[in-house]
Structure 1
Amino acid sequence: MRVLVPIDGSDCSFAALDYAIDLYNMGGVSLHVVHITDYETDASEALLEKATEKLDAVGIDTEPELITSLGLDSPKASVKIGEHIVSLLEDGDYDQVIIGRHGERGRLEDFLLGSTSETIVQHTPVPVTVIPA
């Protein structure tokens, strides 16, 4: 089973990675970890390093991927990220996605800002496991 794990550096995204690692340890799972951002920065490098350390600690030999080519300057960047993750799922022959979701937000906030996890849940072709904050 191929599992995609998007991370954004938040506690809930690393909780999703921990959950995916637990699933990997049960056997029969390969993980692909991805971080999507506008630019490669010290912060993005630090979160990729943290993810790599978590994977290495349990013997998972995979490098997290950094994607910086989406142009995320719009207020709906989270929707754009969600749409790109859905594209990855469609094109990458994945069986599942495991993603963290930030705390409770209101409808107005979702309307104005969008939600990466909500976009994925609504449009994905594979099962989604959402790990709350």
Structure 2
Amino acid sequence: MGTWGTGSFDNDSAADFIKEVVEDGVVALREALEIVLDPDLEYVEVEEGSRAMAAAEIIAALTSGDHRNITDDDLLSWVEEADAKSVTGQREQALDAVDRVLGPDSELPELWEDSDDLREWQRDVQRLRSSLT
């Protein structure tokens, strides 16, 4: 996992996903959530989990108006111009996706479990969950 920090955007998968969101908009957000929420998906791989966490972070920023966790300039511009109403219905879906990524059939928590930064990552994830409720 190409990770450089504990935040939702601090990994290679999320960095690639940001480009997709800037290009494709809300469709990219919806697809990232739908992949991890697919009932036929038995195990959430790290790439899908990271993308879903980034999508949830973007939805939280759009619906709350709090953009301070958006660190990429292009994404920040997109978020500032996007219509928050376009993702209002996805807030609960984003929370469900975060919960699925944190669940027992997911690679991302397994990878963080062995990290010295586990507690910091858990705090960031809890902040994200709280912002979606």
Q: TM-score, normalised by structure 1?
A: 0.30
More helix by share: 2
Determine which structure has the larger strand proportion and give its number. 1
Mark the structure with the bigger radius of gyration: 1
